Amino acid sequence: MDEDKVKQLELSDELVNKYLIHDVYYSSKKIEINFTRLDGNADTITLPVLQYAHDTLQQLYTHVNGSMHPEQFTRLLHELDIKFPPIWDQIYVPAIASDNKSEESTDLSELEILSVSEALRKHSGRFGVRGTITSLSRLFKMISGFKGHCDNCDEFNEIVLPEPVSSIKAEDRKCTNPNCQKLIKNVDYNYCNAVNVELQDLEQFNDLERLPVFLFDKDTENIRVGENIIVKGQIRIDESSNIKARKLFPCFCAKSIQYDKNDKINLTKLDIDAINRFTNKHGSEIIGELASMFDQSIIGYEHVKTGLLLSAVNSNADNNNFNKRRERIHSLSIGGTGLAKSRILRSVTRLIPDSRYESGGRNSSGKSLTAIVSKEEENYVLRLGPIPLAKNALCAVNEFGRTDYEDQAHFLDVMEEGEFTINKHGINARIKATTTIIASANPINNSTWMDDEKINLNEIPALKPIIDRFDLIFVFRPRKNQDEIRDYAYRKSGFESNKIPDYSHYVIKHLEYAKRFNPIISDEAQQMLNEFFIKIMLQDNFNFGSNRILDTLFRLCKAFARLKLNMVVDGDDATDTIEFYNVVLQQYQRAVSIPFNPRDVTYNECLKILRENQIAITLEELLKQACYNNHYIERYLCFSSKSLRLQDNAKVKSVYAMLLNHTNVRRIQEKPVVLQWAM
């Protein structure tokens, strides 16, 4: 390695002796890794040093190309991911611009870094601001200066503005000659490229506190919406904004932009040693111990807590996947009211930085949760919703079942592909959203299940493709056993006099450390999971899930291994996965739902008519029969005063969507809509 200031990274004995990684050298230009290949020959990998340690190490995925054993590669990446970030400031040296801006760069490096909330309360000054990019405008032009001859003194004037502006007032076009000061009538403007983004705070996410930031020229290229950044430049009052209302707002003119990939949670060597000791102490019981530490104010639901910890630890695993397959584990908690579903969602979002908690149903739409294009003044702006802003984290959606099926469709690409596209008003964007969705809902008849021991998929108020994308579905039921109720009552009343223990500080750090592991699945574990999947699919009258179950099993076993801090998924991890998923499977068998709200009563009555008649029938005639059979339905659909045609009645559209989502209902004609029961 022929470079100045070359240093050697100290490697663990295990990495050198067992995994045959001989040397790692680094400088400000590149990293060189010497190792023994699978075929026994010596080899070297050279990585160019990028701005961030994470981006630099991610290049390993494209450089290895099968030359390393997966376990050898995983162990190498794990050790480098621990050792390089703390010393990265000593390795990466930013390039110095060649246009005599070194003095300005030095000044910028010494600026005070503010939050968005703090910056909004400044009137002027040079600062740095840290925040998340939540919106992006189309490219436009701003005036960076002007030039022209003065007709009075014939002097040539060339003005470079300190910050680009949208317009220049007449009085600002005066001749620079102090003896003249006449207005320059004919000027040529100099322009620069500009883009307007909005920043919001990373932690205290307040939609009302958004800082407009202008980016110029080179900084307008390859803007990554949803990323955390640090911008440095000038705060000023935008006097052109909202002149009619006579309100003045601050804006920020950026001189530089830096994508901020620093870990939200800094783990020291003492932290890592403590996590390893705690894990070794509890051994195979570590996951149960973590679940018991999860928000002790919520009594019970240990299985649900375990599942949500599995979702949390896999929340950023898509970034470390060789085959670019989904590793995120989505979950749905469903049950009656008052069973702590919302509280448990709030609790788990506090464990992973950048996570969001949102209310579903009428409080939000599929577009507002993903992304919208809105017109603001004379410009169209792409504005991200909470789901892409929770990239590599969790987005909890409460009351998901109250969300219209049309809005639920916006979740499909996000949940499976981890990205979605938006194409509106000339803005076409592909938005990365590797976000883990954890949702809650009430059953379709609002609060109760038809059977105390089993449920039917038709009782879940979600599109079938959405249900299929939820890896874990947890059923909440009220306690009916006398001993369970007594235990709950006494433990709950004990909170009145005793302080509730809070172990979240440790759980947060354990999850952060566990996410650094990228375990590989052993042949033994793989065979066990494959056989388990085969038995599931061959069950009689099996009507739950699809081939995605196999992917779910592999995601779960990796999550179990991560929580145990294992580099390899072994037979014990596979056994834990099978036992855990068996509890989920026991909840699903056929059952019939009887809704209690008018929409669901209409839906059930239509199902009954289709099932009993076994003949094709138009949707309008089907609804008429339902109205004749039940006056409650007649009043709900306003049969006496309103048409039952699909295009004229919004309530009919809602019932129709639910019918099409039923497993046994087939549409055999579209115009007019004709439905039939299919066995």
pLDDT of residue 100 exceeding 50, the answer is no
What integer pLDDT is reported at residue 107 of this predicted model? Answer: 56
Higher pLDDT, residue 639 or 460: 460
289 pLDDT exceeds 90? yes
312 and 428 in a single domain? The answer is: yes
Highest mean pLDDT pick, 64-68, 349-353, 584-588: 349-353
Cα-Cα-Cα-Cα dihedral of 176, 182, 185, 190, to 10°?
Answer: 20
In terms of domains, do 39 and 135 share one? no
Checking if the pLDDT of 635 tops 90, the result is no
Query: Span 351-360, mean pLDDT?
Result: 89
Q: Is the pLDDT of residue 330 over 60?
A: yes
CA atoms within 13 A of residue 131's CA, in its CB half-sphere: 29
**Domain contains 379:** yes
Same domain, yes or no, for 155 and 297? no
Under a CB-based contact definition with an 8 Å cutoff, are residues 536 and 487 in contact?
no
351, 426: one domain: yes
Q: What's residue 565's pLDDT?
A: 94
pLDDT band for position 375 (cuts 50, 70, 90)? confident
- Residue 126 covered by a domain: yes
In a domain, 491, yes or no: no
Instruction: Reply yes or no on whether the pLDDT at 505 is more than 60.
Output: yes
3-state secondary structure 178-193: CCCCCECCCCEEEEEE
Strands (DSSP E) found in 86-124: 113-115
* Strand partners of residue 553: none
Range of weakest confidence among 11-20, 405-414, 597-606? 597-606
Residue 105 confidence (pLDDT): 46
From CA 420, how far away is CA 397, in angstroms rounded?
Answer: 18
Instruction: Give the pLDDT score at 300.
Output: 87
**CATH number of the domain where residue 651 is located:** 1.10.10
Same domain, 39 and 114: no
Percent residues over pLDDT 90 in the chain? 27
Q: Is 80 exceeded by the pLDDT of residue 587?
A: no
Q: Is residue 468 part of a domain?
A: yes
Residue located via tokens 């809602």: 654
What is the DSSP secondary-structure string of 523-537?
A: HHHHHHHHHHHHHHH
Q: Please give the structure tokens belonging to residue 423.
A: 């194409």
State the greatest distance between any 2 C-alpha atoms of the chain, in Å, as a whole number: 99
Q: Is residue 446 part of a domain?
A: yes
CATH code of the domain covering residue 190: 2.40.50.140
pLDDT of residue 240: 62
Whether the pLDDT of residue 514 is over 90: the answer is: yes
Cβ–Cβ under 8 Å, residues 342 and 440: yes
Residues 313 and 420 in one domain: yes
Is residue 403 included in any domain, yes or no? yes
Q: Which of 585, 611, 640 is the last residue of a domain?
A: 585
Choosing from 91, 123, 157, the residue where a domain stops is 91
Higher-confidence residue: 98 or 121? Answer: 121
Cα–Cα distance list, 577 to 161, 193, 314, 512, 516 (Å): 64, 54, 14, 21, 20
Crossing angle of helices 598-613/619-629, nearest 10°? 110
Choose the final residue of a domain: 46, 63, 91: 91
Contact 225, 135 (CB under 8 A): yes
Percent helix, strand and coil across the chain, each to the nearest 5: 40, 25, 35
Angle in degrees, CA 407, 408, 410, rounded to 5? 75
Question: Based on the domain organization, do 27 and 176 belong to the same domain?
Answer: no
Chain segment 43-86, per-residue pLDDT in tens: 888 888 876 676 677 777 666 656 677 778 778 888 887 888 77
Per-chain mean pLDDT for the chain: 83
Q: What is the DSSP letter of 378?
A: T
Total of domains in the chain: 4
What is the spatial distance between Cα 535 and Cα 145, in angstroms, rounded to a whole number? 73
CATH assignment of the domain containing 276: 3.40.50.300
Residue 13, C-beta contacts closer than 8 angstroms, at least 6 positions apart: none
Supply the pLDDT for residue 595: 30
Determine which of 76-80, 99-103, 189-193, 514-518 has the lowest per-residue pLDDT on average. 99-103
Q: Give the pLDDT score at 101.
A: 45
Task: Give the contacts of 228 (CB within 8 A, at least 6 positions apart).
Answer: 130, 131, 132, 202, 259, 260, 261
Q: Who has greater pLDDT, 53 or 338? A: 338
Pair (223, 171) in one structural domain: yes
pLDDT of res. 532:
85
Query: What's residue 99's pLDDT?
Result: 45
Q: Tens of pLDDT along 221-255?
A: 888 888 888 999 999 887 665 555 567 888 899 98
The pLDDT of residue 167 is 83
Out of 69-73, 103-107, 164-168, give the one with best mean pLDDT: 164-168
**Which among 311, 388, 313 has a CA at the least distance from the CA of 354?**
388
Mean local confidence (pLDDT), 133-156:
86
Angle between helices 571-585 and 523-537 (to 10 degrees): 20
Query: Which of 152, 142, 144 lies closest to 184 in space, CA to CA?
Result: 152
Q: In this structure, are 463 and 580 located in the same domain? A: yes
The amino acid present at 67, given as its one-letter code, is: S
Task: Transcribe 243-272 into DSSP letters.
Answer: TTTT--EEEEEEEEEEE----SSPPPHHHH
Q: Provide the β-strand partners of residue 383.
A: 135, 372
135: which strand partners? 198, 383
Among 13-27, 248-262, 506-520, 563-577, the range scoring the smallest mean pLDDT is: 248-262
* Within a domain: 498: no
Same domain, residue pair 384 and 405? yes
Residue with tokens 């960076």: 144
| The pLDDT value given to residue 66 | 61
What percent of the chain clears pLDDT 70, i.e. is strictly above it?
Answer: 89
Please check whether residues 352 and 420 belong to one and the same domain: yes
Where b means 16+ CB within 10 Å and e means fewer, 279-311 reads: beeeeeebbeebbebbbeeeeebeebbbbbbbb
Edge-to-edge strand list for the sheet holding 436-441: 356-359, 394-398, 436-441, 331-335, 472-476
One domain for residues 79 and 128: no
Between vectors from CA 675 to CA 671 and to CA 677, what angle results, nearest 5°?
A: 165
Instruction: Tell me whether residue 493 is in a domain.
Output: no
Once rounded to an integer, what is the mean pLDDT over residues 348-360? 90
What are residue 149's DSSP bridge partners? Answer: 156
List the domain range (segments joined by +) for residue 614.
598-677
- Selection from 367, 76, 129, 66 nearest residue 256 by Cα: 129
